[in-house]
Amino acid sequence: MSPKIIGRQRGFTLIELVAVVVLLGILSAGLAVRWSPAGATLNPQAEEVARALRHAQSLALSQGRRLQVAVLSATRYAITDGGAVITDPQGVRQSFDLAPGVTLSGTDLDFDSLGRPLDSGGNLIAAPRNWVLSAGGNNATVSVSPLSGWVMVTP
């Protein structure tokens, strides 16, 4: 004697499976359009520039001298003493290259012996100083606040 099936069988219908696959396709297509490798590189590069600015500020303060974060080109920046690239106390030369496809625009920024941000004339900056990094149509901004020198990254 064979067992009888009572009630409705459980499982997915073909229509339900097709609907799920279509929804997953739409979601993945939307994600692929929003995500780009350049965007994935941009934020870490902006954080690296922010770290270099903070490091220059810290070195100026600890060494009691004026240091500059200089934009050497659209893809290179360095911490200098106003002329030559410096070497930090651990012996690391403070020159940095951006990742391929990332560019930087901004002007040189000095820090005095108290860690305060200065313009090229040696005066305290009166407005935030912004450095803009660009990659693949995306931008990230690294801002340095006047007086305090607070460094902030905004995507």
Contact between 141 and 135 (Cβ < 8 Å): no
Q: Reduced to 3 states, what is the DSSP secondary structure of residue 151?
A: strand
CB atoms within 10 A of CB 149: 25
Collect contacts of 11-17 with beta carbons under 8 A, ≥24 apart.
none
Q: Tens place of pLDDT for every residue, the chain, 155 residues?
A: 566 656 666 787 888 888 888 888 888 877 655 554 545 689 999 999 999 999 999 999 999 999 999 999 999 999 999 889 999 888 999 999 999 999 999 999 999 999 999 988 889 999 999 999 999 899 999 999 998 899 999 98
pLDDT of residue 152: 94
Three-state DSSP state, 106: coil
pLDDT, tens digit, for every residue of 107-116?
Answer: 999 999 999 9
Q: The domain 40-154 is classified under which CATH number: 3.30.70.20, 3.55.40.10, 3.20.20.70, 3.40.50.970?
A: 3.55.40.10
CB neighbourhood size of 132 (10 A):
14
pTM higher than the cut 0.85: no
The rounded distance, in Å, linking the Cα atoms of 62 and 13 is 70
List the strands of the sheet with 103-105, edge to edge. Answer: 103-105, 129-135, 138-144, 151-154
Q: Where are the domains of the chain?
A: 40-154
